[in-house]
Amino acid sequence: MGIAENACFHCGEPISAGTALYVQRDGQQRAVCCAGCQAVAELIFRSGLGRYYQFRQELGRKAEAGLAHAIAAWEGCDARESLWGAELADGRRELLLQTEGIRCAACAWLIRSHLEKLPGVQSTQVDTATGYTRIIWQPKETRLSRLAAGLMELGYKPHLPLAGAEEQGRQEERRESMKRVGVAGLGMMQVMMYAVGLYAGDAFGIAVAERSFLAWVSLAVTLPVLLYSGRVFFEGAWRSLRARRPGMDVPVALAIALAFLASCYHFFRGDGEVWFDSVVMFIFFLSLGRHMEMMLRHRNLQAGAALARLLPEWAERIRGERRETVPAGDLESGDRVVVRAGESFPADGHICAGATEVDEALLTGESRAVARVAGDLVIAGTINLSQPVEVEVTACGQDTAVSSMGRLLLRAQATRPATHSLPAWLVPAFIVSVLLIAAATWLGWQYVDPSRAFSAMLAVLVVSCPCALSLALPVVHAAASRRLLDEGILLTRGDALHALNEVDTVVFDKTGTLTLGEPVLTGHPSADALAHAAMLARASRHPFSRAIARAAGSGPVASTIIEHPGEGVSGVVDGREARLGSAAYVGAAGQGGSELWFAFAGDAPVAFHFEDALRPEAKETIARLRKMGLSVELLSGDSSERVAIAAAAAGIDAWRAAATPVSKAQRLSELEKAGRKVLMVGDGLNDAAALAGAHASLAPGGAVDVSRLASDCVYSGDSLKSVALIIEVARAARRRMRENFAFAALYNLIAVPVAVVGWATPMVAAAAMSLSSAIVTLNALRLSIMKLEDGAS
């Protein structure tokens, strides 16, 4: 991982001037940005884990200050057995900790190596995809807080194991499902092998004893597969029948049961015509499908977990004179809590002492400071920017505004219009018709030539074994996902491709998606003024101040700095009193808009202008989407003049400003009602509900977790070009799917009648079936060598 010059060796953030912190490594000095990162890097080297820096693919997480404080909070929970994890034999516990900051395999290695050296820790596993750390430990030998401290020392942030039990259950479910697929797969290989013998016997002759022996073994292998892997389908069918709502499982269970029972009947009657091979293969492919579906479902459940994570887990409660750090879940309404600058509010409440500025980007998507004074309402999850305040809690946990937003998201996901991918209804319909045709064939041949009835029926079943048809779309899907992955785009929902190529309208969020998402300094009076203003700006967290600090680079900070919430900062610059802030605060005649004023006491104030700059490739991407026949719309929570400017610059005619999360979702359902298929592209939490409710959705990899998980696909990197690219691939995939589907249908239309009239022996039928499967697969692979139009064209 390349690190820019003047960036922290551990976390890659810029190092402000005047910081002289280093870590020693191989006789070289590496600069780090803060004492926290220094401690982490030193610990890593001291423990002999320096290889982490070679293998990591992502930069480390910036260490947070106040480690001792965080450890003390965990120590308060040491005695709570409910947090220790599931009990194993001889008192050991299996603890699942959701851990923030795990970014790549090197992190997993680092955590494993570090934790496993602690006394009382038996084994550690890290799942990089979900961010869970699984620790098997002995509570007699160590404490919970020691494990948490082990993670925190490395700069990761463990969360209280409150939802651990659910994830544990899900993991068990995943393993069970995988076992079913494995059993069915192995069984399928065996039975297929015997089937080859049986087919060869049909073609070249086989002794009766050997034939029945092969059939016997097939039955012996099929039965456990049917009972173990196939059980879920029978259970599902039974449940849905009992609920009087026959679902997908009913025809499936019927097909399996009929094929198996008929095989057994023929086998025991002695004419030996069996198709156990079809039974196991069918079970295998269906189990595999179920497994994929479950993986996607589990991923979606994590969206809820990510949302819960937006709320801080710890709160500093005031009880009389005492201040104590308690889990935020323990708060009750009426409690008073202290929230420091830079922390987020643990619960909804009113400010009862102090005044500050709050970043409510969580709710509005626009990162700007809003002044809040005593008596004002603050929302859990929003960030306190400038001054410590005391808050009286009015709502916590499930009752907070953020939690209700989570429910909005879940509802949107639940009511998402079902995008029927073809195989979902087609395969059972196809199977049932095949079974009917097979039965009809058998009946028909009874009148013509009863001795050939079985052979003809078997040929029908084999030739139409739903391979080509059931492969036709999944192989294209697999090839397209693979191709998109090569281009840095990850599909997170199974039906995303299907939804994507139906899209005729693209709706963009503005801030962070179409624009860079942070204000950029566009105009300043002079280099001198910039240098002076920067000395004040470096001390403030205000987005505009940060933009000035970025533009000025590193440098000194003013002394005796005071932040005035909602107004600005004052301090002593070069020995003179100076102010940086709003026009009113500095004493200037402001023109409104995105500006900040700076003045020395007594001097005339000067203005700094900001703009949330458009991404460089935005205009080109929009033009390209237009050329592809899509209409484009802009939906933003920002003020109308700013949205108008951005829309004009990007070349978008249709735009709406001042949209809330709810009105965004509403606008999308309006568009859906008008018959449009919408692709939503957004990154903020305020887009999450819209993303989940849209026909298809796309989020950049840098988006907040919730939005990433709510969307159908995630593109890595920051390039908007991915939006056009993904639609191009989806459309190509649709063409391949149509070709494959047409081919498979044609094949069945020709092959089934041929088998019905008895022209195909089972052997020929098997060969034809394999060939047809190979053809659809090869056609799908064309996607991986497809040339994509370059963004320039």
Partner 1 sequence: MTVLVWMMAAALLLAGVALGAFIWSLRTGQYDDPAGSAARILDDQPPLP
Could you list the residues that contact partner 1 (CB under 8 A)? 48-49, 51, 55, 104-106, 108-109, 113, 117, 125-129, 134, 171, 175, 178-179, 182-183, 186, 189-190, 193, 207, 209-210, 213-214, 217, 221
Q: Report the candidate in 454, 362, 349 with the shortest Cα–Cα distance to residue 394.
A: 349
CB of 49 to partner 1, least distance (A): 8
C-beta of 123 vs 415, nearer to partner 1: 123
Pick the catalytic residue: 509, 683, 687, 705?
A: 509
CA distances from 578 to 316, 528, 597 (A): 35, 14, 11
**Biggest distance spanned by C-alpha atoms of the chain:** 112
Q: What is d(CA 552, CA 527) in angstroms, rounded to the nearest whole number?
A: 9
d(CA 102, CA 114): 14
The residue (of 214 and 699) whose beta carbon lies closer to partner 1 is 214
Integer CA distances (angstroms), 15 to 62, 344, 555, in order: 12, 24, 10
Nearer Cβ to partner 1 (61/524): 61
Q: Verify whether residue 509 is a known catalytic residue.
A: yes
Residue 67 or 217 having the CB closest to partner 1: 217
**3-class DSSP state of 391:** strand
DSSP H or E run through 339:
strand 336-339
Alpha helices (runs of H) in 694-758, residue ranges in sequence order: 705-710, 721-756
In the complex with partner 1, which residue's Cβ is closer, 131 or 684?
131
Structural element, H or E, at residue 764 = helix 762-785
The single-letter code of the amino acid at 283 is I
Q: Write out the DSSP string of 172-203.
A: HHHHHHHHHHHHHHHHHHHHHHHHHHHHHHHH
Distance CA 316, CA 335 (A): 10
Nearest distance in Å: CB 208, partner 1: 11
Helix (H, G, I), strand (E, B) or coil at 445: helix
Residue 97 CB, shortest distance to partner 1, in Å, is 15
Structure tokens at 671: 């568009």
Cβ proximity to partner 1, 51 vs 452, nearer residue: 51
Contact 565, 371 (CB under 8 A): yes
The answer to whether 357 and 566 are in contact (CB under 8 A) is yes
Residue with tokens 């950029």: 520
**What does the alpha-carbon distance between residue 634 and residue 676 come to, in Å, rounded to a whole number?**
15
Tell me the closest approach of the beta carbon of residue 306 to partner 1, in angstroms.
18
Q: Least distance from C-beta 237 to partner 1, angstroms?
A: 26
Instruction: State the nearest-atom distance from the C-beta of 191 to partner 1, in Å.
Output: 10
If one counts every other C-beta atom within 10 angstroms of the C-beta of residue 382, the result is: 22
Cβ distance to partner 1 smaller for residue 231 or 319? 231
- CB 703 to partner 1: min, Å: 20
Residues with active-site annotation: 509
